[in-house]
């Protein structure tokens, strides 16, 4: 009891001291309006002054309560000191004279192995001393919660969170408290003894706007909801950063300095309150050439007219005071309701979200960007993507300049690594190297009209020729399947009846062209890339191909492609074929632990997988075509692991895919241990006995594991360009779709058949 009382005295002393400090400083430490989110505060200046007076009265009353409790506890302390040495609880007669004490295992009076004796006694009445008279008063006061003044209202207890034994308003709690103090946004005007209730925000419309105007807008909008744009669908090689929380000048200044360091632009979304209270900060943002947008924080009770009024007021201030006419709207936090989306759409604005919100609640006390980054981007996310939007709230972290540090760290770790850099071609040194991504504002990206596109591509915009038709009857025999495959299958030398195949015999394989080359007399080779990857893996490949004007075919795994559609769209727009590498990347046949080859899927599942893959690709590039009218989206596919099966190839042909393409050289670049090794593998695939392998198809990859592929190609293509035009080893890089038109057949020629007959068999 003594320890408990001493602790209470210490606590009340701390509260009394804190209260005096708060009163001296002119604000309440626990619920300071200055430390709360500015976007949530909606009271007028008169209401603020009234709240401040109420706060001061509550503080003074609290001090009086604390002083009374201190005096009471001091009195109790003196009583305890006078009775020192006496037992607080009288001893019971008979069994024990002291309270039980937890004993160590080695201090039993009775050995643990013996059965304890249970004594049965009649219950006896225990005589206890009555506590002092003021003890009951003390216990009653202990049961009363110490009421810490809340700002601005005491009505919404749910708006508080416990933090270090203090009641602190969170964002939503503060907004709700202000809203309730303002009577839910409704004011009562006393006129001639009558109460006229009207919506505050609806009555605060801009001059020239009426409720009837908004009603007309709503009808004309016809219920259309704005889409929250978490990324901008563009092929421009840029990333966008948006910023909220202008209440702390030091944080804003540090972010502006960071943007200057990287020559970047951002979009700063400001609230009405920030425009009124932080005018010097807003002017600095404008002077720095940064973009301003409209930030709103609508309450759950707000309707269509209220949200429109919020947007229009901020829009007018931006235009009148800062000369900025913005139609970009962002909600400060929380899920965006349909009524907000409807208001944004009706006003002709765009609702901007974020692909990645860099600020999370658990990061408030963090001190370095290195602590934050692993928690907002997992190990598997190697880079940001073109068209992505990253949002940072500047006034959230306790460390004022941490938002700027995070911006620079993201730029260095997740954007700069997207550029292509080799020993003689650095993005920040070579002015021709355009592989680096830049930081642009949302408005800048939206202004580049020729880079914008619609996702998903409307089916009505699909180009002619994208349709598929079955190339094999459903009831076709195995012999018919083998004959059709002979025309449409490009084999690879390591795949045979015993390795990575199922349902085909050695006799069947004799009908397939396993060279993996295109039948041509041109000095041409073909570059192909499998799988899917991040911008940091694919963008360097695109730069090298662009640098050497070399086209390629990209075989895409479509499972995650819709998470980064801008990248696939950019590949197609840069002049490359798009083809399928299935949706889920499941091989047609695999070998189990017993060495037996078995299928991974049934016919219907594999058929649907291929169909899904093609449809996803069409939703991104289905409207693109070559100058001669051919679709950029081909009907080519490459089997995962190059494995084939009778069931799988049947599903592919019945799905309307025209060619199954493995290739002549599988570089295994995902496992290359050095650049030299990768260059050697590609050169070996290019030449045989110093002669060019005409029509060679190279199988490479676009993943982060293939880390030497871009540089190896740069070296080889550069060396090839230096050769004389009459050099028979000089090659050009071709596009598969230029050679594999609908009439092309991969069936063995008579020359091939005769050569195979004359070939000596050593077994």
What is the residue-averaged pLDDT of the chain? 81
Cis ω for the linkage preceding 65 (within 30 of 0): no
Contacts of 582 (CB under 8 A, 6+ apart): 557, 558, 609, 610, 613, 637, 639, 640
Phi, psi of 270 (to 5 degrees): -115, 145
User: Are 177 and 293 members of one domain?
Assistant: no
Q: What distances in angstroms separate CA 366 from CA 357, 406, 570, one per listed residue?
A: 16, 11, 37
Give yes or no for a contact between 426 and 711, defined as CB atoms under 8 angstroms apart.
no
The label of the residue with tokens 């075509």 reads: 625
Q: What is the pLDDT of residues 355-371, one digit of tens each?
A: 999 988 899 999 999 99
User: Are 505 and 640 members of one domain?
Assistant: yes
Domain presence at residue 582: yes
Domain housing 686: 477-747
User: Are 512 and 575 members of one domain?
Assistant: yes
Residue with the larger pLDDT of the pair 247 and 757 = 247
State both tokens at 73.
């506890």
Domain presence at residue 88: no
Max mean pLDDT among 76-80, 180-184, 211-215, 284-288 falls in 284-288
| pLDDT confidence of residue 360 | 86
Among the three residues 371, 389, 418, which one is the final residue of a domain in this structure? 418
User: Are 241 and 182 members of one domain?
Assistant: no
Domain presence at residue 221: no
Q: What is the pLDDT of residues 397-414, one digit of tens each?
A: 999 999 999 999 999 999
Give yes or no for a contact between 420 and 202, defined as CB atoms under 8 angstroms apart.
no
Give yes or no for a contact between 552 and 545, defined as CB atoms under 8 angstroms apart.
yes
User: Are 586 and 720 members of one domain?
Assistant: yes
| pLDDT confidence of residue 7 | 54
CATH of the domain at 256: 3.20.20.370
Confidence of residue 80 (pLDDT cuts 50, 70, 90): low
| pLDDT confidence of residue 471 | 95
Q: What distances in angstroms separate CA 148 from CA 4, 40, 52, 127, 578, one per listed residue?
A: 21, 21, 15, 41, 65
Among the three residues 172, 187, 202, which one is the final residue of a domain in this structure? 187
Distance of CA 646 to the CA centre of its chain: 41
What mean pLDDT do residues 198-210 have?
Answer: 55
Confidence of residue 37 (pLDDT cuts 50, 70, 90): very low
User: Are 516 and 648 members of one domain?
Assistant: yes
Domain presence at residue 440: no
Confidence of residue 152 (pLDDT cuts 50, 70, 90): very low
Length of the chain: 763
Phi-psi region of 585 (alpha: psi -120 to 50; beta: other; left: phi over 0): left
State both tokens at 718.
């550069």
Query: Coil, strand, or helix at residue 618?
Result: helix
Q: pLDDT at residue 93 above 70?
A: no
Counted domains in the chain: 3
Domain presence at residue 448: no
User: Are 23 and 169 members of one domain?
Assistant: yes
Q: pLDDT at residue 5 above 90?
A: no
Burial 660-679 (b: 16+ CB within 10 A, else e): bbbbbbbbebbebeebeebb
Among the three residues 146, 170, 187, which one is the final residue of a domain in this structure? 187
Q: pLDDT at residue 81 above 90?
A: no
User: Are 155 and 280 members of one domain?
Assistant: no
Phi, psi of 389 (to 5 degrees): -120, 125
User: Are 511 and 369 members of one domain?
Assistant: no
Q: What is the pLDDT of residues 214-266, one digit of tens each?
A: 899 999 999 999 999 999 999 999 999 999 999 999 999 999 999 999 999 99
| pLDDT confidence of residue 58 | 63
Q: pLDDT at residue 98 above 50?
A: no
Give yes or no for a contact between 262 and 255, defined as CB atoms under 8 angstroms apart.
no
Domain presence at residue 574: yes
User: Are 638 and 535 members of one domain?
Assistant: yes
Burial 246-266 (b: 16+ CB within 10 A, else e): bbbeebbbbbbebbeeeebbb
User: Are 267 and 374 members of one domain?
Assistant: yes
Confidence of residue 743 (pLDDT cuts 50, 70, 90): confident
Q: CA 35 to CA 37: how far, in whole Å?
A: 7
Q: pLDDT at residue 188 above 80?
A: no
Residue with the larger pLDDT of the pair 154 and 318 = 318
Domain presence at residue 468: no
User: Are 566 and 647 members of one domain?
Assistant: yes
Domain presence at residue 299: yes
Residue 379 burial by Cβ neighbours in a 10 Å radius (0-12, 13-18, 19+): exposed
The pairing of strands 389-393 and 350-352 is: unpaired
Q: pLDDT at residue 201 above 70?
A: no
């Amino acid at each position: 009891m003594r320890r408990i009382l001493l602790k209470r005295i210490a606590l009340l002393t701390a509260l009394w001291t804190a209260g005096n400090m708060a009163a001296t400083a002119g604000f309440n430490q626990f619920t300071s309006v200055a430390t709360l989110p500015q976007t949530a505060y909606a009271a007028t200046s008169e209401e603020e002054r009234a709240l401040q007076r109420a706060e001061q009265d509550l503080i003074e009353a609290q001090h009086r309560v604390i002083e009374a409790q201190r005096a009471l506890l001091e009195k109790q302390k003196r009583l305890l000191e006078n009775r020192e040495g006496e037992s607080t609880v009288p001893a019971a007669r008979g069994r024990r004279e002291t309270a039980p004490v937890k004993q160590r295992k080695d201090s039993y009076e009775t050995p643990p192995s013996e059965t304890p004796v249970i004594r049965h006694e009649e219950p006896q009445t225990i005589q206890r001393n009555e506590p002092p008279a003021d003890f009951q008063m003390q216990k009653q006061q202990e049961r009363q919660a110490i009421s810490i003044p809340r700002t601005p209202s005491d009505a919404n207890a749910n708006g508080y969170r416990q933090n270090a034994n203090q009641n602190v308003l969170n964002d939503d709690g503060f907004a709700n408290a202000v809203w309730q103090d303002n009577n839910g946004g409704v004011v009562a005007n006393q006129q001639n003894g009558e109460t006229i209730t009207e919506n505050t925000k609806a009555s605060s419309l801009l001059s020239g706007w009426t409720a009837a105007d908004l009603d007309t807008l709503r009808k004309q909008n016809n219920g259309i909801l704005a889409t929250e744009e978490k990324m901008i669908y563009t092929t421009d090689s840029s990333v966008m950063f948006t910023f909220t929380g202008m209440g702390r000048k030091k944080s804003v200044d540090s972010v502006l300095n960071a943007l200057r360091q990287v020559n970047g632009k951002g979009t700063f979304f400001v609230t009405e309150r920030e425009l009124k209270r932080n005018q010097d900060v807003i002017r600095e943002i404008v002077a720095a050439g940064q973009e301003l947008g409209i930030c709103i924080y609508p309450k759950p009770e707000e309707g269509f007219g209220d949200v429109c009024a919020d947007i229009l007021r901020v829009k007018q201030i931006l235009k009148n005071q800062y000369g900025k006419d913005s139609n970009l709207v962002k909600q400060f936090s929380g899920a965006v309701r349909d009524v907000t989306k409807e208001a944004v759409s009706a006003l002709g604005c765009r609702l901007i979200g974020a692909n990645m919100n860099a600020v999370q609640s658990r990061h408030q006390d963090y001190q370095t960007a290195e602590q934050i980054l692993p928690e907002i981007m997992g190990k598997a996310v190697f880079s940001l993507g073109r068209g992505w939007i990253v949002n940072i709230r500047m006034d959230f972290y306790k460390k004022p300049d941490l938002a700027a540090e995070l911006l620079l760290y993201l730029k260095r770790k997740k954007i700069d690594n997207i550029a292509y850099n080799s020993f003689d071609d650095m993005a920040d040194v070579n002015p021709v190297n355009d592989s680096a991504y830049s930081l642009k504002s949302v408005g800048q990206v939206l202004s580049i009209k020729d880079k914008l596109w619609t996702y998903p591509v409307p089916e009505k915009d699909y180009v002619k020729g994208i349709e598929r038709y079955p190339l094999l009857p459903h009831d076709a025999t195995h012999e018919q399947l083998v004959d059709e495959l002979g025309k449409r299958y490009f084999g690879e030398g390591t795949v045979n009846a015993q390795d990575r195949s199922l349902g085909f015999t050695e006799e069947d394989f004799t009908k397939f062209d396993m060279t993996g080359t295109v039948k041509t007399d041109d000095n041409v080779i073909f570059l192909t890339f499998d799988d899917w990857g991040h911008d940091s893996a694919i963008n360097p490949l695109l730069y090298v191909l662009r640098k050497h004007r070399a086209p390629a075919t990209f075989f895409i795994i479509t499972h995650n492609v819709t998470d980064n559609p801008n990248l696939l769209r950019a590949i197609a727009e840069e002049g490359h074929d798009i083809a399928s590498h299935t949706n889920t990347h499941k091989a047609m046949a695999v070998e189990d632990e017993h060495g037996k080859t078995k299928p991974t899927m049934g016919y219907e599942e594999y058929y649907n997988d291929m169909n899904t893959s093609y449809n996803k690709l069409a939703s991104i590039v289905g409207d693109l075509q070559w100058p001669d009218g051919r679709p950029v989206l081909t009907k080519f596919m490459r089997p995962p692991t190059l494995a084939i099966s009778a069931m799988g190839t049947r599903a592919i042909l019945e799905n309307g895919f025209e060619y199954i393409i493995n290739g002549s050289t599988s570089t295994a670049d995902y496992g290359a241990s050095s650049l030299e090794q990768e260059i050697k593998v590609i050169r070996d695939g290019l030449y045989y006995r110093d002669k060019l392998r005409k029509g060679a198809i190279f199988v490479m990859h676009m993943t982060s594991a293939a880390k030497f592929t871009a540089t190896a190609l740069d070296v080889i293509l550069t060396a090839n360009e230096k050769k004389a035009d009459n050099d028979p080893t000089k090659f050009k890089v071709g596009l598969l779709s230029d050679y594999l038109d609908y009439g092309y057949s991969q069936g063995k020629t008579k020359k091939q058949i005769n050569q195979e007959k004359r070939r000596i068999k050593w077994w």
